[in-house]
Structure 1
Amino acid sequence: MQLSTGNSVWSRCFMAVTLAVAAAAVVVVDAADAVAESNVRLYLGNWAGYVVRGDVHEVSATWVQPEIDCRDPGILQRVVPWVGLNGAQGLDGRVALPLMQTGVESLCASDAAVYAALPGLQVENLAAGMAYADPRIAGTVMNAGAKLADALGAAADGLCSIGVFGGFCSPDKQVDGWWEGYPEPPVSYDDVEVHPGDVMRSVVRWDGGNYLMTLEDRTAKWSRTTAAASPTPPHTAEVVVEGHLDAALPGFDPIVFTDISIDGRPLSDYDAQMYGIPATNRLLAPGPVDGASFTIR
């Protein structure tokens, strides 16, 4: 089964459920038991990784695209490493938009999982249209849509486990490189392919009037750059893995982000905020920053 990308409800909502992070990021917990470093504050949402607040202009990172293990056939499961500018709360307390990002989505999707998720995804799609008017309300609505999708997905997964849906529960693995200027829908690079084990590199830069987003597959030796005009400067930078809030995550190989650079400086030079995903099957949080790298297991 193939899911369409581009301007569909699916692609808009599930490749970057961004305002869910904006709403959930106000929940802060002591992450001492979840990460190797004690006395760390962890912001919960649908991102796992690090966010830097401030007036930045360029962010970049390298990683190896992981292999995923589809364990819950009735639930849409995704692992999405990406690099971006904007999308989180800036120093002024407002959500910085537009979120300009590029990365790779690895997805587990059966027919049963897709049909179960669609009602919630339609709610999330409506929320994306509220992003500029009121990001907090948009985040609340988007979280409601996510909870609906998760509840129906859990029900579908239970029926799949007892064989009710038969072949409709067979998950397909899909891997897509993409870029996005949220709240506009994401766009896939359909003319190229990404495979598990490929060395990927993302760079997002604002030149004063345009956001330039480059996704490079160093293993397959291709690169794609997209320019999106915007006079709005960036106020946050992200290097994260995205999943779906409160849903099960697939199994996946550890993701090691390396060569992280923000305005030419390593991540360790910044007071970066740690984000984690409270999935139903585990809490996904990044390890400590080591210079220009960190690992998500």
Structure 2
Amino acid sequence: MQLRRMLAPGSALALLVAAFAPAAAAAPTALLFQAPMHPVTGQHGAAPFFVSHGGGLHATSTSDNWSGYAATGSTYTSVSTTFVQPAVDCSQGDGYSSFWVGLDGYSSSSVEQTGTEADCSGGQAQYSAWYEMYPANPVTYGNAVYPGDTITETVKYSSNTYTLTLNDKTEGWTKTTSKRESGLARSSAEVIAEAPWSGSVLPLDDFGTVTFDNNTVNGAGLSAANPTGIDMASDSGTPEATTSGLSGNDFSITWDSL
């Protein structure tokens, strides 16, 4: 049991712990979008695209806003992952990061997704959870998220309904949102760490390494979908986040630079 749950609200020790605890959800000054993938040479708002630079069993591509894995080449109805919410190091200045699963966005202009946010603003870390039916605005849940929390995320499609579920096992809450949409491509399914967008791609904050476990696509292990690995780099080619190879259906992403 975490210390904050053992303290009586209003006690002197509880107030002291709260003062030094990482912030939970906080209202951003501008909307942060989790957008479709786009290349290191492109401008946001252009048609989503990727630049291939690899081969082998799992090809790799490079993006200036996505890192992780995307299954493509079929029509997808579900994707899920479990990970431990990483803590962000805010000592290098403001930065932003999100960790999500979704359908679409690799080669289509919509993304149906749910995830968590870990941002550095004014030297302070802020954590939150959300869903987004891009290009519609993201919606932030009011539930608290903290580094070290075990998070499970799932997006499912059936009969023109997208069901987006985020469970914080550590804090003991689940949020499920259903949205009816027709005509979306469902041409990819992905597990992603992203540098969000607000007018342009934002700096990616230092989240260390995040490991995504028990990844599934269409009800089977991620590896069965022969997904494409995605590394993140700036438009000038500076590595920002590197995706590991698959170990079974699991993989990790390591932050490289702000």
Band the TM-score falls in, shorter-chain normalisation = 0.7 to 0.9
Give per-residue Cα distances to partners, 1:235-260, cap 9 Å, x unaligned. Answer: 21010100158764322231110111
Deviation at 1:81, TM superposition (A): 0.7
* CA–CA separation in structure 2 for the residues paired with 1:210 and 1:39: 30
Are residues 1:265 and 2:220 paired? Answer: yes
Q: Which has the higher strand share?
A: 2
5+ residue gaps, structure 2: 1-22, 40-45
1:42 to 61, 67, 78: 61
2:106 to 80, 88, 93: 88
Deviation at 1:276, TM superposition (A): 1.7
* CA–CA separation in structure 1 for the residues paired with 2:76 and 2:48: 23
* Percent identity between the two aligned chains: 27
- 1:105 aligns with 117
Higher relative contact order (CA 8 A, sep 6+): 1
The SS at the match of 1:69 is coil
State the aligned residue count. 218
- 2:166 aligns with 215
* CA–CA separation in structure 2 for the residues paired with 1:218 and 1:172: 24
Are residues 1:63 and 2:83 paired? Answer: yes
- 1:256 aligns with 211
- 2:27 aligns with 4
Are residues 1:296 and 2:247 paired? Answer: no
* CA–CA separation in structure 1 for the residues paired with 2:128 and 2:48: 26
TM-score w.r.t. the length of structure 2 is 0.76
Deviation at 1:38, TM superposition (A): 9.7
Deviation at 1:18, TM superposition (A): 2.8
Aligned residue identity for 2:27: S
Deviation at 1:24, TM superposition (A): 6.4
The SS at the match of 1:68 is coil
Are residues 1:15 and 2:20 paired? Answer: no
- 2:187 aligns with 235
CA contact (8 A) 1:15 1:105 kept: no
Deviation at 1:284, TM superposition (A): 1.1
Aligned residue identity for 2:53: V
CA RMSD for the aligned pairs? 2.6
Alignment of 1:106-255 (within 5 A): 106-110=118-122, 171-190=123-142, 192-233=143-184, 234-244=186-196, 248-255=203-210
Are the structure 2 counterparts of residues 109 and 17 from structure 1 closer, same or farther at C-alpha, using a change threshold of 3 Å? farther
Give per-residue Cα distances to partners, 1:189-239, cap 9 Å, x unaligned. Answer: 01x100000000000001122100000001111000001111235221010
TM-score w.r.t. the length of structure 1 is 0.66
1:78 to 88, 96, 99: 96
